[in-house]
Amino acid sequence: MRKYNDCYYLRIVDDKPAGFIGSVDGDIRVATHPDFQGKGIGLFMVNELMKIYPGRFAKIKMGNEASVKLFRKAGFKKKYYIYEKDNS
């Protein structure tokens, strides 16, 4: 994160870090502290970021239902599937 520290914003609630959001190479990166999940913090951060950087996108790993739900609430729609070969 140090390399891209100027691309991130912190959300502080009652003097506590509630989450962060940023955009690196057009991709939205967001995380909410567990104590603040389910309270609209993530949605607030996504909506505010989109005001500053319209046209950004989110890459969501398969199975990450919390992120799918968040971005759907923010008005995002599924556009692509990306498949990679598993070399493990």
Identify whether 54 is part of a domain. Answer: yes
The CATH number assigned to the domain holding 19 equals 3.40.630.30
Confidence band (pLDDT; 50, 70, 90) for 4? Answer: confident
Identify whether 42 is part of a domain. Answer: yes
What's the number of domains the chain is made of?
1
pLDDT at 42 exceeding the cut of 60: yes
Condensed to tens digits (0 to 9), the pLDDT of residues 45-79 reads 999 999 999 999 999 998 999 999 999 999 999 99
Identify whether 63 is part of a domain. Answer: yes
Q: What pLDDT does 6 receive?
A: 84
3-class secondary-structure state, position 6: helix
Identify whether 23 is part of a domain. Answer: yes
pLDDT at 1 exceeding the cut of 60: no
pLDDT at 24 exceeding the cut of 80: yes
| Full domain range(s) for residue 42 | 2-73
Identify whether 79 is part of a domain. Answer: no
**DSSP code string of 11-45:** EEETTEEEEEEEEETTEEEEEE-GGGTTTTHHHHH
